[in-house]
């Protein structure tokens, strides 16, 4: 079972993002404030659980969280400020939307910039150690997957419903064949060197 709190503060939120390594679609972050008595044997790093389980846990998190929020930042912003800054901004925007305002923030990973003068800690592999970060990872992943499934309808040839925008062989072949869309991140290396793209 994952740990509840990292700090002595009652209102401690966890935050995480999904989609950093994708070639298309937003980077999506979530922030979650869980009640002090919240317990779950099932919540874990979203990458460690099945899609079906993530969908079920999403409903549990949304029902029992004191507060939660999700933010999508689109490829234009990612291309403008880079993926690391976009990931941090998406997490910050999610935290700002929480009500009540958290007293402490725990962040998955090793990079963050302070927001609202709230103290924070970066925790490597935090999504497999702390409940609130794991809950945020599940929301970020499920909301981003749903977003990719929606835009799949617009551009089915890239099969985002399946690959979610990650650099699979199939996705790269589709980019080579059909070119790029408004959802692709132009600052990313969309094709390996041997597959040149005529922009």
Query: pLDDT 10s digit of each residue in the chain, 199 long?
Result: 899 999 999 999 999 999 999 999 999 999 999 999 999 989 988 888 999 999 999 999 999 999 999 999 999 999 999 999 999 999 999 999 999 999 999 999 999 999 999 999 999 999 999 999 999 999 999 999 999 999 999 999 999 999 999 999 999 999 999 999 999 999 999 987 655 555 5
The secondary element (H helix, E strand) that includes residue 83 is helix 83-96
Joined together, the tokens standing for residue 190 give 């969309």
Residue 79 makes CB contacts below 8 A (sequence gap 6+) with 185, 186, 187
Q: What are phi and psi of 135, to 5 degrees?
A: -60, -40
pLDDT of residue 193: 67
pLDDT of residue 192: 79
The secondary element (H helix, E strand) that includes residue 63 is helix 51-64
Cα–Cα distance for residue pair 130/43, rounded to 1 Å: 9
pLDDT of residue 111: 95
Cα–Cα distance for residue pair 87/71, rounded to 1 Å: 10
Which residue, among 117, 15, 119, 131, has the nearest Cα to 70 in the 3D structure?
15
Cα–Cα distance for residue pair 142/14, rounded to 1 Å: 16
Position of tokens 């609130």? Answer: 132
**Domain spans of the chain, in order of start:** 12-178
> Which CATH number describes the domain made up of 12-178?
3.30.420.10
pLDDT of residue 98: 98
pTM of the entire predicted model: 0.95
Residues 18/139, Cβ–Cβ less than 8 Å: no
Residue 9 makes CB contacts below 8 A (sequence gap 6+) with 102, 103, 104
pLDDT of residue 165: 97
Residue 49 makes CB contacts below 8 A (sequence gap 6+) with 42, 57, 138
């Amino acid at each position: 079972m994952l740990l509840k709190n990292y700090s002595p503060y009652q209102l401690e939120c966890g935050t995480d993002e999904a989609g950093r390594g994708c070639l298309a679609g937003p980077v999506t972050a979530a922030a979650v404030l869980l009640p002090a008595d919240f317990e779950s044997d099932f919540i874990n790093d979203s990458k460690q659980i099945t899609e079906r389980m993530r969908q079920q846990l999403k409903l549990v998190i949304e029902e029992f969280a004191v507060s939660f929020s999700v933010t999508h930042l689109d490829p234009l912003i990612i291309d403008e400020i880079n993926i690391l800054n976009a990931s941090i901004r998406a997490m910050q925007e999610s935290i700002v939307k929480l009500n009540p305002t958290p007293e402490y923030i725990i962040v998955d990973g090793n990079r963050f910039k302070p927001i609202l003068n709230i103290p924070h800690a970066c925790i490597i592999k935090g999504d497999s150690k702390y409940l609130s970060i794991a809950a945020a990872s599940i929301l970020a992943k499920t909301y981003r997957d749903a977003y990719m499934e929606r835009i799949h309808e617009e551009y089915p040839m890239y099969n985002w419903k399946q690959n979610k925008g990650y650099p699979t062989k199939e996705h790269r072949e589709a980019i080579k064949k059909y070119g790029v869309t408004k959802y692709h991140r132009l600052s990313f290396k969309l094709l390996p060197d041997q597959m040149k793209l005529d922009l």
